[in-house]
Structure 1
Amino acid sequence: MFLMDKWCVIVNPKAAAWKTRKEWPKISRILNSQGIDYVPFITQHKGHGIYLATQAIEKGFDSFIAIGGDGTVNEIVNAIMDHASDSLQMRIGMIPTGTGNDWEKSVGIPNDYVKACDVIKQGRTLVQDVGIVKYYEGNEKKKRYFVNVAGLGFDAVVTKKANDLSERPRGTFSYLLSLFTCLMKNKSLPVEVGLDGEKEKHLMFSMAVGIGKYNGGGMMQIPHAMIDDGILSVTLVNNISKLDIILHIKMLYNGTVTQHPKVDTYNVKSMTLRSLKEDRHVYLEVDGESLGHDPFEFDIIKRKLNVVVI
C-alpha cells in the first residue's frame, strides 16, 4: 500500500518550550536502534512543517512521523490534504514530545519514546476523519484541516495565551494558568450557530468542535466524540459565571462537563457560526494552533487519514 520504506520525520524543536530540541538526539538513537529508515527535517518557524511535508510529498514520500505536539501533526496533515493526490495513500505516525499531546490520547499513541517507535515499526494503521474549517484573517478567507479539536471563543483565547508563553513549559499547568488569567477578562458573546442548516442563537462563552475527545492538555471537553464516525461532535458552553467555572473545573477533565446545565451538545456533519455583535469577533484555534476569526464554516471528511497506532 505504501510505496516507500523510508519515513519523512518532521521535528519541531520548539515543542514543549524547546524540550524537543533536547530530546531529538535520544529519539534519533531509538529510531536507529529499531532499524527504522528515515530522513529528518527540522522546522524553523510556525507553518514550516507544511512546507517541509509538501516538499517531501513532491519527492515521493508517503510516510510521515511528527516529532513534537499536536500542532506539528496538524501541519503535516494540512500538507497531505492539500498536496497528496490521494490522502489514503499516505500515513502519519507520531512520537509525542509536546506537553499536551491531546490527539495521541484519542487515537492510541504511546507517550513513551521506545513504545511509540515500536508502534511505527509495526506499521498498523487506523483510518480517521479529518475536519475542515473556513475562517477569516481580516478580510481574507482561509481554510485549515484539523484532526483533533477546534476551539472557539474562550477556548481559543486561552490557547493563544498559553501559546504566547512560548518559553515556558506548556500543557495542563500552562493551560490552567492561562485559563484563570483570561477568565477575568472574557465575556460571553451572542452568536448564530448553524447546525446542519438549522439556525440557533446562543449567548456563547466557549465551544469545542471535535473529532477527538481531548484538548487543553488533557481536558475531556468532547466525551461524545469518535474519530471515525463522520460526525463533528460539539460542546457549547452558554453564558456562565466565572465562579461556576472555577467550582466545576474538574468537570472539564473527567468528561462530565456535558452534564452541566449551561452546556449543550450536538452531533453534526456541518456547522456555521458568526458573531451577532458587529464590534466583536469570535476567535479560533485548531489542534492547539491559534488562527483567525468568524464567520466560520465547519465540515467533516469521513475516514480520510491513515494513522499509525497500537
Structure 2
Amino acid sequence: MRIFRAPPRSRSSATLWPSDWRNSSAPLLYNPCEHAVKERFFAVVNPTAGGGRCGSLAGPALARLREAGLGLDAIASAGPGHAVLLAQEAYAQGYRKFLAVGGDGTAHEILNGVYGSNSIAHGVKLGFLPLGTGNSFLRDFTQNGADAALQALLEGRTRACDLLRLKHASGELYSLNLLSLGFTADVAALTNRRFKPLGQFGYLLGVFLRLVQLRRRAFALRCDDDPDWDERRCLFLSFNNSKYTGGTMLIAPHADPSDGFIEMVRWGPIGRIGLLRTLPKLYDGSHIRHPLASRRSVRRIEFKIPVPVDVMVDGEVVTVECRSLEAVPGAVDVYI
C-alpha cells in the first residue's frame, strides 16, 4: 500500500504552516490515480495523531482495506492545516469519498477543505480510521472503534449527518462534532498552545490553571426567532452536533447528528467549588440536571460578540469574531 508523502519540511523551519504550502510550487497531490477517482477513497493520514500511534498503525489498516477490494489513494499530512489543502485539491480533482486516518481533528480539516471552498459540495462521503486521541464523533454510534469503522467501510454502510456552519468576520468554518465558548475553549486553547506535548497531564494542568483564573462571561446570542438577545453570564456555551467531546465526555446527551438541530448546552456562572464537584458528571451526562445548566435544540444562532474570541471546534482552537451558527442538515454521508 503506497502512502504519498507531502513535500519535505525545510531544514530552516521546525514547522511548515499552511501559508508555506500555498506558496509552494510543488503539487499537493502527485496524481496518484487519474481515472475513476469518484469511486476511490482519498485518505489523509495524520502520522502524529494518537501521540504518533497513527503513523505506525495506518499502513497495515489501509493495506487491509485495499486487500478487501477498496480502491484508495493516501497521503500523509505534514502539519496543522495541511489536510485542509489536501482535501480541497482532492475534491477539485474529482474525489468524493474521503477517509480520515487519525482523530477528530483530521476529519475536521478534511471537511473544511471540501466545504470551506465548495459550500455547495454534493455527494461527499466521509469514513474514519480512528487512530487519534479523541475520536469523539464515532462514539455516538459505536464503542468498538477501529473495528466498527473498518466494517462500515467494507460494507459501504453510510448515514446522512449534519454539519454545523460558523460564519465569522473572516469567513466560515464547518464542524462535525461541536463548537464551544468560554471555559472549555479556554482550557483547550491553553493546553494546545502550552502543554500539548504533555498529553493527558497537559490537559489536566490546563484545567487547573483555568480554574485558578476562572472567568464567567457573557456571550451575547439570539436563537431562531427569539426577539431578545441573551446576555447572561455563563461558564461555557457548547453547540453540539454529536453527544461526546474529549473522547468520553457526554457533553450533550440529547444531541442527534442527523436531526437538523444544534443542541445548545449552557452552564451558568458556577463557582470553583461547584465546578470541581460537577466536572465528573460531564462523563455521564448528568451535569445538565444542575440548577445552573440548561439545554435547548435550535436551528440557527446569531452572535453579538464584537471582538475575536477563542472557539473550540472539534477539539481544535481558532480565534475568530463569531457572527452566526447554523445546522446544515444531511450535508455529509458518514460511514458508520
TM-score normalised by structure 2 residue count: 0.82
Question: How many residues are matched?
Answer: 298
Q: Is the aligned partner of 1:158 residue 2:187?
A: yes
- When the two chains are superposed, the root-mean-square deviation of aligned CA atoms in Å is 2.2
2:123 is aligned to 89
- Pick the structure with greater CA Rg: 2
- Could you report, residue by residue, the CA deviation over 1:151-210 in whole angstroms, capped at 9, with x for unpaired residues? 11111111123323333335xx65444322321113111332211142222111111101
> What pairs up with 1:39-54 in 2 under 5 angstroms?
39-54=73-88
Partner secondary structure for residue 302 of structure 2:
strand
Partner secondary structure for residue 332 of structure 2:
strand
1:116 is aligned to 149
> What pairs up with 1:1-310 in 2 under 5 angstroms?
4-84=38-118, 87-108=121-142, 110-112=144-146, 114-136=147-169, 141-164=170-193, 165-170=195-200, 175-198=203-226, 199-275=229-305, 282-309=309-336
CA contact (8 A) 2:175 2:313 kept: yes
Cα distance, 1:101 vs. partner? 0.9
Partner secondary structure for residue 227 of structure 1:
coil
Which aligned segments of 4 or more residues in structure 1 are displaced greater than 6 angstroms?
none
Quote the Cα distance in structure 1 between the aligned partners of 2:143 and 2:88.
24
Cα distance, 1:107 vs. partner? 4.2
Structure with a larger share of its residues in strand: 1
Cα distance, 1:34 vs. partner? 2.5
Quote the Cα distance in structure 2 between the aligned partners of 1:217 and 1:176.
14
Quote the Cα distance in structure 2 between the aligned partners of 1:145 and 1:225.
17
Quote the Cα distance in structure 2 between the aligned partners of 1:27 and 1:45.
21
- Could you report, residue by residue, the CA deviation over 1:239-272 in whole angstroms, capped at 9, with x for unpaired residues? 0111111111121110111110111212111112
Partner secondary structure for residue 13 of structure 1:
coil
Q: Which amino acid aligns with 1:147?
A: L
CA contact (8 A) 1:191 1:274 kept: yes
Partner secondary structure for residue 35 of structure 1:
coil
Quote the Cα distance in structure 2 between the aligned partners of 1:246 and 1:266.
24
Partner secondary structure for residue 235 of structure 2:
strand
CA pair 109-38 structure 1, distance change in 2 beyond 3 A: farther
Cα distance, 1:103 vs. partner? 0.9
CA pair 220-26 structure 1, distance change in 2 beyond 3 A: same
Cα distance, 1:3 vs. partner? 7.2
CA pair 223-192 structure 1, distance change in 2 beyond 3 A: same
TM-score normalised by structure 1 residue count: 0.88
